[in-house]
Amino acid sequence: MKVVLFLVCIISLSACSPSLKVQTDYDPDYDLWSYASFDWARVDSSVIRNPQYYTDLNERRIKEAVMRQLSKRGYQLTNDKPDLLIQYHIVVEDKTAIATEPFGYVYGPYWMQSKQNTYHYTQGTLILDLTDTRINQLIWRGWAVSDVDGVDSPEEINALVNAAVRKMFDTFPKRKTNKL
């Protein structure tokens, strides 16, 4: 009975969490496992960043989540000639979705008039870039997109950032093996 109750709680909590869509892209000519060290790219002070999202709190959340994932893969943080530079971007946009009724029509004063509902929501995107420092070229990019309405508490923000970064690195290219 306790197991069933526990599963119901987990399913209920996961149903309440925002959906998270993750994609990655990388240059297959570069073996990401041949790099050993990383550092964070310096932010260009002339670039205007939204202070509502680019806060010290969010920076700490993102950096801790990324460092945790890179450390698990054997990368070391260094500020002395790192192999990779990491940069993140935050994009938050107001979006509108239009949905029709499930059957597409409502029977009423105007026979078979199409019924549409409009929904407004806020979508957040976290983008991570890994750049090869020797050639100054982007070699891996991951991005996670989620509805961020209702993600207000520090715990919810932290959970969403951790989930986004973890899912991005879940699709990190596998280690190449030498076939003899």
Ordered domains of the chain (ranges, CATH): 17-170 (3.30.160.670)
For residue 143 the two structure tokens come to 């991005």
What's the mean pLDDT when you consider all of the chain?
Answer: 84
Looking at residues 7-14, what average pLDDT do you find? 38
For residue 42 the two structure tokens come to 């310096």
Consecutive H or E run containing 89 = strand 84-100
- The answer to whether the CB of 73 falls within 8 A of the CB of 91 is no
Total-model pTM: 0.79
Looking at residues 68-92, what average pLDDT do you find? 95
pLDDT tens digits, 29-59 = 999 999 999 999 998 777 778 888 899 999 9
% of the chain beyond a pLDDT of 90: 63
Looking at residues 158-169, what average pLDDT do you find? 97
Range of lowest pLDDT (2-6, 112-116, 159-163): 2-6
